[in-house]
Structure 1
Amino acid sequence: MTADDRPTAALIIIGDEVLSGRTQDVNLKYLATRLGELGIPLREARVIPDDRAMIVATVNELRHRYRYVFTTGGIGPTHDDITSECVAEAFGLPWEPHPEAWELLARDYASRTPPVEFNAARQRMATMPRGAALIRNAVSVAPGFRVENVYVLAGVPKVMQAMVEAIAPTLTGGRPTVSRTVHAARAMEGQIAAGLGAIQAESPDVALGSYPYYRSAGGGVAIVARGVDAAAVDAAAEKVRALFRSLGFEPREGEPD
C-alpha cells in the first residue's frame, strides 16, 4: 500500500484473566472496527498482565509511537486493578482523588436503595492521575479517563463500548477504511495465490487478505480488500471475482455463512 498519513492507534489489553484464558477478549474487534470507521487505523495491540512495571513501560513506549493509545481493563475496585495508578506513574503524575469522579460516585452510591457504602475499595475508582479528563459512559457510573493521548477504558465490553462511543466524536481521524469481501466455495489458497499476488501488485493502494474457511458442507477461501479509496477497493474486488471465475469457481459477495 502507499504511504498512509492517517493518525494511528494502539491498544493495550490489561489483565491476567485474558492471558490465562479465563476471559475471552472482545474489545479488540470492537475498537479496531470503530476506529477504522473513524479513519484511525489500529496498528498494534498487546495483551499484558496486571504487572506494574510492564504496564508503565508499555504505556510509555506506545504513547510516543502512536497518536492514540487505548487501554482496557484494570480500573475496578480490587487489588489487581492497577491500571490507573500505573498510568499516573507513566506520566510522572500524582495518583489522587479526582474531585469530579469522587462526587459522581459518592452521589450514586448514596442514592441507591438501600444506600451503598462508598468504601475504600470503591474510592479507588475515583482515584486517578492528577488532571485526568473523565470519560463518561451510558452504562455505568464509574468513569474512564484520558491523560494526553492515552485513553483508559473499562474491560467490561458493554461499558468499554459505551466509553468508546462517548469519545468517538472527539477523535481526529482521516479517511475511513473501506472493505469488500468476496468468497468462493471449494477454492483453495494454493490455487489462487499466484493470481492474487498479481492483483496485489496491480493494486498498491489496497490491502488484500486471504482467509481460508472450513464448513461441514466444505471449505473455501474469502478474500478481503481494504483501503481508503473506495474506487480502488471496488476495482480490486472485481479482479478477485474475475480470478475466481477464471479458475472455475463462483464468487459470492460477503463473508461465507
Structure 2
Amino acid sequence: MTQSVTACLIIIGNEILSGRTQDTNLKHLALSLNELGVKLVHVRVIPDEERIIVETVNECRGSFDNVFTTGGIGPTHDDITADCIALAFQKRLIINQEIKEIIERREAPPEVMETRMRMARIPEGATLIQNPTGGPHGFQVENVFVLAGVPMVMQAMLSTITKERLGGGEPTRSLTVGAYLSEGQIGKKLGMIQEKHPDIDLGSYPFYNEDGYGTNLVMRGTDMVALKAIFEEVHQMILSFGVEPIKE
C-alpha cells in the first residue's frame, strides 16, 4: 500500500465505557479527516484515569502522524485530559488568557467562575484549536489535538483544523459493487485481484435482504485510475459467475 498520513482517535470517558453515552464522534472524525487527506487507522476508548490516559497518549503519539482526543476538557473534577496531556509532554499547566477572557464573558458567582476556569488550563506552549461555538477552545501539543467530547463542539473545533496543519495528502475515494454471491464463492478470486492491486483496499461485506444473501465489494484508494481498473476486474469477476452486478 502507498504510505498515507495516519491518525489515531483516543475517546476518553467513563460514560462511554459504561454504555451510558454512545459515542458519535468517531464517524464524523473519520469522514472529515479523509477529506483532509488523513486516514483514521486506530481508535481506543479509555477511562478517565490519569495513568491510562498518559500512557495511551505517549504510545499513540509515537505511532501515528496525528492523534486526536475527545472528552475530558470540561469544568468538573473528572475532566482531567488537560492535566494528563501536560504530564505526557512533561509540561506545566498554565491559564490561557484568551480562553480565560471567553469564560469571563458569561457572568457567574465566584464559585461557579472558579470551576469554569478549569477549562482555561492548557499545557504551556500549546497551540489553540478555535471553538466557533463561542465556548473555550481546544488545544494542540505537537501532533496531539485535544477536542471536546460534546459532538456539536467537537465538530466545530475540528472544522477549524486545516489540511496543512495535519500534513494531509490526497483523500481516499471509494467505489462499490454488490452481487448475490457469498464470500466463500468469491474469496479466492477476490484475493487474487487484491494481490494485483496492492495500493487499493479491497473489502467484502456480506448483506441480506428480501432477495437473498449477497456481498458488497468496496474498493478504496487515492488514485482514481487505479480504482477504476480494479473496479472493472471485480465487475468482470462477478459476471464470470453468471451473476449480474448490483450497482450502488
TM-score interval, normalised by the smaller of the two chains:
over 0.9
Alignment of 1:1-257 (within 5 A): 1=1, 3-4=2-3, 6-107=4-105, 109-110=106-107, 118-169=112-163, 170-184=165-179, 186-254=180-248
Label 1:83 to 1:216 Cα distance change in 2 as closer, same or farther (>3 A).
farther
Q: Return the letter of the residue paired with 2:175.
A: R
SS of equivalent residue, structure 1 residue 24:
coil
SS of equivalent residue, structure 1 residue 125:
helix
Q: Give, in whole Å, the separation in 2 of the partners of 1:234 and 1:82.
A: 47
Q: Return the letter of the residue paired with 1:155.
A: G
Query: What runs of 5+ residues in structure 2 fail to find an aligned partner?
Result: none
The answer to whether the Cα contact below 8 Å between 2:30 and 2:40 also exists between their aligned partners in 1 is yes
Q: Return the letter of the residue paired with 2:16.
A: V
Q: Give, in whole Å, the separation in 2 of the partners of 1:57 and 1:106.
A: 34
User: Could you report, residue by residue, the CA deviation over 1:27-78 in whole angstroms, capped at 9, with x for unpaired residues?
Assistant: 1222122222222222211111111000001111111222211101111112
Q: Give, in whole Å, the separation in 2 of the partners of 1:188 and 1:14.
A: 38
The answer to whether the Cα contact below 8 Å between 2:200 and 2:219 also exists between their aligned partners in 1 is yes
Query: What runs of 5+ residues in structure 1 fail to find an aligned partner?
Result: none
Q: Give, in whole Å, the separation in 2 of the partners of 1:132 and 1:15.
A: 22
TM-score (norm: length of structure 2): 0.92
Q: Give, in whole Å, the separation in 2 of the partners of 1:74 and 1:89.
A: 15
**Following TM superposition, by how much is the alpha carbon of 1:243 offset from its aligned partner in structure 2, in angstroms?**
1.7
The answer to whether the Cα contact below 8 Å between 1:181 and 1:225 also exists between their aligned partners in 2 is yes
The answer to whether the Cα contact below 8 Å between 2:104 and 2:113 also exists between their aligned partners in 1 is no
Q: Give, in whole Å, the separation in 2 of the partners of 1:151 and 1:216.
A: 45
Paired residues in the alignment total: 246
Root-mean-square deviation (Å): 1.7
Q: Return the letter of the residue paired with 1:70.
A: F
Label 1:202 to 1:43 Cα distance change in 2 as closer, same or farther (>3 A).
same
Select between 138-147 and 85-94 the one with higher mean Cα deviation.
138-147
User: Could you report, residue by residue, the CA deviation over 1:130-181 in whole angstroms, capped at 9, with x for unpaired residues?
Assistant: 1222111223412111111110001111211111110134322112212111
Label 1:93 to 1:245 Cα distance change in 2 as closer, same or farther (>3 A).
same
Identity rate, percent = 52
Q: Return the letter of the residue paired with 1:14.
A: I
Label 1:21 to 1:249 Cα distance change in 2 as closer, same or farther (>3 A).
farther
User: Could you report, residue by residue, the CA deviation over 1:65-100 in whole angstroms, capped at 9, with x for unpaired residues?
Assistant: 222111011111122111111001111111221111
Q: Give, in whole Å, the separation in 2 of the partners of 1:39 and 1:165.
A: 14
Q: Give, in whole Å, the separation in 2 of the partners of 1:116 and 1:140.
A: 20
Q: Give, in whole Å, the separation in 1 of the partners of 2:244 and 2:21.
A: 39
Q: Give, in whole Å, the separation in 2 of the partners of 1:80 and 1:215.
A: 45
SS of equivalent residue, structure 2 residue 73:
coil
Q: Give, in whole Å, the separation in 2 of the partners of 1:92 and 1:16.
A: 25
TM-score (norm: length of structure 1): 0.89
